[in-house]
Structures are given as C-alpha cells and as structure tokens.
Homo-oligomer: A and B are copies of this chain.
Amino acid sequence: MVVLELSEQDVNRLFRALADATRRDIVRRTLVTDISVSQLADSYEMSFAAVQKHIAVLEEAHLVTKAARGRERMVRGNLVRIHQAQRLLDHFEELWRSRIERLDSLLAEDAPAPPDT
C-alpha cells in the first residue's frame, strides 16, 4: 500500500482548487475530453484571463495538465489527483472507526484484559 506523498501544502492546494464551481466544472469537462483554453473560456461568463487563472490554479493542484497542440493548449483532467483526494477522505473515515472501537471496548467492561496497553 503506497503512502500518499502529498505535503500539507499540496493538500491545501488540492482542496482549495476544488472549492470553486467554475474550476470543478473545468475538471469535469476535461476528464471527459480534452478541451482547449479558449474553448473553455468561451463557456463561462467571465474574461479569458479569468478562466486562464482558474486553469492555472488547477494546474498547480495537479488536477489538470496542459499540452500544446499547434497554437492551442489542450487541457486534460487528471483522475489520479481525484483518487488521491478520495484516499485523504478515506483516512478520516478510519479515524472515526477508532472512536467506535473504543466505544465498543468500553461497553465490554467485564471483558478480560484489553489486547495491549
């Protein structure tokens, strides 16, 4: 099992990048098919430069990559990063389980000695 090699900064950037509706939409669309920067820019009610900046945020979070194709830059969603985010959330669930386990052992008061101290 590979440990997530993401720094706290990386995780910050990852979740922060996902905390914007336009950016989430860009990720969704570019996961389905590659789309150029200007094609993306056309679909939102904001300036070209604004969309460019959103894409830059996604790039820094490694949620998308850009590849030159002629004079265009094709944007492609990166599912790997989504998976990493999922695994981060999985970890929260595991912590919660530990609460349940401790509650269980409390309820089993009459039990012999606990597994280890």
- Place the interface of chain A in its size category: 20 to 34
Q: Which of A1-33 contact B (CB under 8 A)?
A: 8, 11-16, 18-21, 24, 27-28, 31-33
A96 lies within 8 A of B19 (CB) = no
B95 lies within 8 A of A89 (CB) = no
A43 within 8 A of B: no
A32 lies within 8 A of B98 (CB) = yes
A79 within 8 A of B: yes
Taking Cβ atoms with an 8 Å cutoff, the residues of A that contact B are: 8, 11-16, 18-21, 24, 27-28, 31-33, 77, 79, 82-83, 85-86, 89-93, 95-96, 98-99, 102
